[in-house]
Structure 1
Amino acid sequence: MKKLSLVLLLLVQFKILLAQEHQQSKNYVAPTDALVQANLHKWQQLKFGLFMHWGPYSQWGVVESWSLCPEDEGWTQRKGPYGADYNAYKKAYENLQTSFNPVKFNPDKWVKAAKEAGMKYVVFTTKHHDGFCMFDTKETDYRITSTKTPYSSNPKSNVTKEIFNAFSKENFMIGAYFSKPDWHSENYWWPYFPPKDRNVNYDPAKYPDKWQKFKDFTYNQIGELMSNYGKVDILWLDGGWVRPKKTINTEVNWQKSITFNQDIDMPRIAAMAREKQPGLIVVDRTVAGPYENYTTPEQQVPNSPLDHPWESCITMGNSWSYVPGDKYKSANEIITLLIKIVSRGGNLLMNIGPGPDGDWDPVAYSRLQQVGSWIKVNGEGIYNSTAVAPYSEGSTYYTKAANSNTIYAFVISAQDAVILPSNITLHLKDIKVKNITLLGVHKKAKWTANDGTINISIPAALQTNNGLTQAAVFKIQY
């Protein structure tokens, strides 16, 4: 009976993760701005980034914002003493502002761990769907710097500025996550009507003045982020149901529920943002067109390379935001994800949810340290690389160094310590191999190459006693 219950629980968790996936947009439109193109190319070479979902909701350890959404889904369930009454729950949720006091917040600690892990860019949730602002906005009092929030008296209360400054000093590219929908705004969820689902709860065409106020509110907040927080490289816009009605893809289930035209005027927003931040990458995720400069498959890895820039955003634990006792992926799982994604030409944006005290779970630091140890040995096959056929075969994945006649073959290990077979066969056509080395091992590999087939012989001493972890990487020069 216990085994059955565990299986059911795992199935529910898996279903929740699948339900929250954002299907990729079709019909990618490449940017025409030369500065955006250059910034996008730079970003594509970085491969590994840090994502952080954080807000007052961390105090309850619930799925970020979604328990406010009046939809009957696995990830929108309300728990606790107020769960039976929606209005009481919403009031208690919004009252979390008055107890939010993350006194252990120290972005220098985060950037040190991220840098040592080999991460090269960061995307931070400046505002999630609940509307709580983790930056000092003039547009609402529902923010971390409000006197209603205990942490406002702390010199580091404008956490977005502190995070961006700390990571900028270490040359990370900076990404501002921003939710287009705002469930706290009276111009999105108008109190005159109860919210019906995740969408705006009135018809913008019937009440154009109210919708215009919401458009201006959004425009002004993004303007603040683009003006007052130093260099910003990426504007990462979430909440794809806020979109022109003509862009709805009815093949996607969650887009079928979009009743109204929720055109937020992206041309106006993007023009303003790029005037303030030339070369800004705009990611209006799931809304195919000129303002989705790269796509963002969520909690998944494409089966094959894509023909445009992309990034898999994946949680280190099971949840995007802090949940007590969350189960974190092993170092093996994280490195395997990174290798698979990079072999298909993408980037991995890995999420860690800070806790209510303002720090990460110690397990997250441990995982990053393990990943960093592997990156120090094998990172040359990850960064500044491109996908190369056959991309993968069995447990072997390939990358090619940009502007170089070098291919890397990553042999995934099933456990932390790498155990190699006596012989490894690779298939790489149209190259004349000159040399093969095993990264991290100061011995030449014995190999033969014939008509696109490469056979590498592994000495017995290196099969089990090689000192390698997670994945072995063969450097093939031709």
Structure 2
Amino acid sequence: MAQNKTEKKVPVIVDGVHGCSAPETYVPPKEPAVQEHLKWFRGLKLGLMMHWSPGSQMGSFESWPLCDEAGEWSQADFRWTDPEEAKQQYENMNKTFNPVKFRPDKWAKLARECGFKYLLFTTKHHDGFCMFDTDTTNYKVTAEDCPFHTHKYADIVGNLYEAFRNEGLAISVYFSKPDWHSEYYWAPQFGEHKSGAANYDAKEHPEVWEKFVQYTHRQIEELTSKYGKVDVLWLDGGVVRPDNKHMDIRLGEVVERIRATTQPHLIVCDRTVGGEYENIITPEQSIPSAMIPVPWESCLTVGGCFSFHYTDHPKSARELVHTLIDVVAKGGNLALNITPQPDGELPAPAVESLLGLGEWLQVNGEGIYETEVCAPYVSTARQGLAYTQKNGNIYVFYRYQERQHYRLPRYLFLEIEKPAVKITLLRNGQELAFVQENGRVKIDTEQISMLGVKYSDCFKVEFDSAAQAGNGGGQ
């Protein structure tokens, strides 16, 4: 992820959003198949993101200890060793990586139970280690020097994709454009590597850069041809861009080949670079303060880090539910990252929070999945209510702030202008009495049963079929 402090600055779209292109620069895809698939993908709303690699054994900040410019912060969890020694230890983690508890079928079943609709998995992070069976390098999980290579699930990416598709989930392919293990990126003939960028100017050494371009194209084509249908190509590492050391990987060439052959619908997310191949913009570890009218996906962590840390602590189920509501009401998808352990298990405390999220979605998911934005989106003026809409109905969420305060204010005021005919509480199917005037629906909450309340309530508002549905503001 974009922990890299050296990446080129990109516009900040809304207060508090890190590492994301500005929506006013968004270029919609021109291909009808991509447009249609993007519309479908936006309706999925919730994806399971996973950062996993041999480096998880060190409990490090992903690949960043290898990068000198990442500084001391990236080695915060293993200051017991010399930085140069730590780099070598990190690079050799492939020789001890043996996650014998890895069960892709269990991960996929859990994801479905928790309400996820797609998988976003790190096929390769910046360290260059491939979690798939590539023909381009031996720095991979299926190589003979990796003890896991004899396991029946050794091709981790291939087995995960098959298992998640079997559970009905879509596939988003995380792939790092920087590759700090490649001799064509951090090329030894050009001296030390200090930053996340290549350690030479591609314009001055085109023959070396061309080898890296072909290497990268081959890996992307492997991932989009060997493993069946993929829905999104999610490219991290915005430091690789034509206006930075002329690092142009000619992404259009490989994308158009893929779309012309195996994946005509392919959504591409060239993070922070902009242009026609950034079909989704991606706020990282933050949520925009207002609705965004273009396709976007926040990547957030269940705990505090994207990669596995022995000292990490997960957010509560209530926090995850509130986060999802906030993202969806503002028009986005949520890619929620959980960090697998080095042994292949998922951390139990994080799983418990995800199960709580899934339990809530089983009851209230109707107001989340396949919805569109609905003004006033997330209201700060009245009770912090959040709004979505679908099939002519409006869904209004009230988020409970603390477990011990699971109670409603005496009156709820829903900002709805069109005449409503029925309001139902999704939690228990209770039909509620209400009055409506001056663009507001007033509900006396004394009629509402609080039995079984969890995290947030969702109110379904229905209208006469002859009336125009919604408050406007659809995507």
The two structures have a TM-score, normalised by structure 1, of 0.89
1:34 maps to which residue? 32
Does the alignment pair 1:446 with 2:443?
Answer: no
| More displaced stretch, 135-144 vs 363-372 | 363-372
1:252 maps to which residue? none
Structure 1 segment 350-429 matched on structure 2, within 5 A: 350-394=336-380, 395-402=383-390, 404-416=391-403, 418-429=406-417
- SS state of the match for residue 171, structure 2? strand
Call closer, same or farther: CA 1:20–1:321 in 2, change over 3 Å: farther
Q: Which runs of 5+ in 2 are unaligned?
A: 1-14, 464-475
Q: Deviations over 1:377-400 (max 9, x none)?
A: 111000111111111224443333
Structure 1 segment 157-306 matched on structure 2, within 5 A: 157-192=154-189, 193-245=191-243, 258=244, 260-274=245-259, 275-306=261-292
Aligned residue pair count: 443
Percent identical residues: 42
Q: C-alpha separation between the residues in 2 aligned to 1:453 and 1:19?
A: 31
Q: Is contact 2:376–2:387 with CA below 8 Å preserved after alignment?
A: no
Does the alignment pair 1:94 with 2:91?
Answer: yes
2:60 maps to which residue? 62
Call closer, same or farther: CA 1:362–1:391 in 2, change over 3 Å: same
1:321 equivalent among 297, 307, 332: 307
Counterpart amino acid of residue 425 in structure 1: F
Q: Is contact 2:317–2:353 with CA below 8 Å preserved after alignment?
A: yes
Q: Is contact 1:70–1:76 with CA below 8 Å preserved after alignment?
A: no
Counterpart amino acid of residue 340 in structure 2: P
Does the alignment pair 1:310 with 2:307?
Answer: no
Call closer, same or farther: CA 1:376–1:360 in 2, change over 3 Å: same
| More displaced stretch, 375-384 vs 266-275 | 266-275
Structure 1 runs of 4+ aligned residues shifted over 6 Å read none
Does the alignment pair 1:143 with 2:147?
Answer: no
Q: C-alpha separation between the residues in 1 aligned to 2:71 and 2:385?
A: 37
- SS state of the match for residue 388, structure 1? strand
Call closer, same or farther: CA 1:169–1:79 in 2, change over 3 Å: closer
Call closer, same or farther: CA 1:155–1:425 in 2, change over 3 Å: same
Q: C-alpha separation between the residues in 1 aligned to 2:30 and 2:70?
A: 42
How far 1:445 moved relative to its partner? 1.3
Q: Deviations over 1:244-278 (max 9, x none)?
A: 10xxxxxxxxxxxx4x1111101112112222212
Q: C-alpha separation between the residues in 2 aligned to 1:397 and 1:80?
A: 43
2:461 maps to which residue? 476
Q: Is contact 1:387–1:400 with CA below 8 Å preserved after alignment?
A: yes
Q: Deviations over 1:24-70 (max 9, x none)?
A: 34400000111111110110111011000000011011110011111
Counterpart amino acid of residue 397 in structure 1: L
How far 1:205 moved relative to its partner? 1.1
Counterpart amino acid of residue 234 in structure 1: V
1:334 equivalent among 312, 320, 334: 320
- SS state of the match for residue 96, structure 1? helix
Q: C-alpha separation between the residues in 2 aligned to 1:164 and 1:64?
A: 22
Q: Which runs of 5+ in 1 are unaligned?
A: 1-17, 246-257
Q: Is contact 2:60–2:75 with CA below 8 Å preserved after alignment?
A: no
Q: C-alpha separation between the residues in 2 aligned to 1:25 and 1:149?
A: 42
Q: Deviations over 1:393-445 (max 9, x none)?
A: 2444333333x22111100001246311221112222x111111111224321
Call closer, same or farther: CA 1:210–1:375 in 2, change over 3 Å: same
How far 1:75 moved relative to its partner? 3.8
Q: Is contact 1:107–1:162 with CA below 8 Å preserved after alignment?
A: yes
Counterpart amino acid of residue 444 in structure 2: S
Q: Deviations over 1:281-310 (max 9, x none)?
A: 110011110000010000111111112111
Call closer, same or farther: CA 1:397–1:20 in 2, change over 3 Å: closer
Call closer, same or farther: CA 1:81–1:476 in 2, change over 3 Å: closer
Q: Is contact 1:25–1:287 with CA below 8 Å preserved after alignment?
A: no
The two structures have a TM-score, normalised by structure 2, of 0.90
1:109 equivalent among 87, 99, 106: 106
How far 1:72 moved relative to its partner? 4.6
Q: Is contact 1:234–1:281 with CA below 8 Å preserved after alignment?
A: yes
Counterpart amino acid of residue 296 in structure 1: T
Call closer, same or farther: CA 1:184–1:398 in 2, change over 3 Å: same
Q: C-alpha separation between the residues in 2 aligned to 1:19 and 1:345?
A: 17
Call closer, same or farther: CA 1:289–1:103 in 2, change over 3 Å: same
Q: C-alpha separation between the residues in 1 aligned to 2:347 and 2:359?
A: 19
Q: C-alpha separation between the residues in 1 aligned to 2:89 and 2:372?
A: 49
Call closer, same or farther: CA 1:383–1:138 in 2, change over 3 Å: same
Counterpart amino acid of residue 84 in structure 1: D
Q: Is contact 2:126–2:180 with CA below 8 Å preserved after alignment?
A: yes
Q: C-alpha separation between the residues in 2 aligned to 1:400 and 1:419?
A: 22
Q: C-alpha separation between the residues in 1 aligned to 2:411 and 2:70?
A: 53
Q: Deviations over 1:102-128 (max 9, x none)?
A: 000001111111111111011100000
